[in-house]
Amino acid sequence: MEPATPKIWVDADACPVAVKEILYRAAQRAGVRLTLVANRLLQVPRSPWIAALQVAHGFDVADEEIVKRVAPGDLVITADIPLAAEVIARGGQALSPRGEMFSPETIKAQLTMRDFMDTLRASGVQTGGPPAFSQNDRKAFAGQLDRWLARAARG
């Protein structure tokens, strides 16, 4: 029996439009199944490779659905560090919309830093948000996605 072709899952509620557009083109070009998961109705291009999955409203409902469906070797697009950690624990790979590939070696430190920043914000410290999504972020994302697609094609 041939192994399943890896799929791409997108935590789509906060995913930048530019990243979605890159993903649409890549799914078509590479013939890889792409599913955007969100708690609102999404319009996606008509394609046998692209689907949208609407889940119920609620905290982390989309994340839980992705974790339930992700298989070893699949790629999840997310900026959510706890979701990335769960994906990695299930044998998947996680890529941020800014082009950072999360890894088993770094995810614990990233979770610790995220929790620390949450504690600071909860105590009233103004930590600021992430910088605006840039052209460099877009290029970094496209480069990492292309590398993943090349590895997936090789099996």
**What structural domains does the chain harbor?**
8-154 (3.40.50)
Tens of pLDDT along 84-138?
999 999 999 999 999 999 999 888 878 777 777 777 778 887 777 778 899 999 9
Can you give the pTM of this predicted structure?
0.89
- pLDDT tens, 19-47? 999 999 999 999 999 999 999 999 999 99
Alpha carbons 58 and 153: distance in angstroms, whole number: 36
Query: Contacts for 75-79 with beta carbons within 8 Å, 24 or more apart?
Result: 75/6, 75/7, 75/8, 75/9, 75/148, 75/152, 76/8, 76/9, 76/10, 76/11, 77/8, 77/9, 77/10, 77/11, 77/15, 77/19, 77/23, 78/10, 78/11, 78/15, 79/11, 79/14, 79/15
What distance in Å separates the CA atoms of residue 120 and residue 123, rounded to the nearest whole number? 5
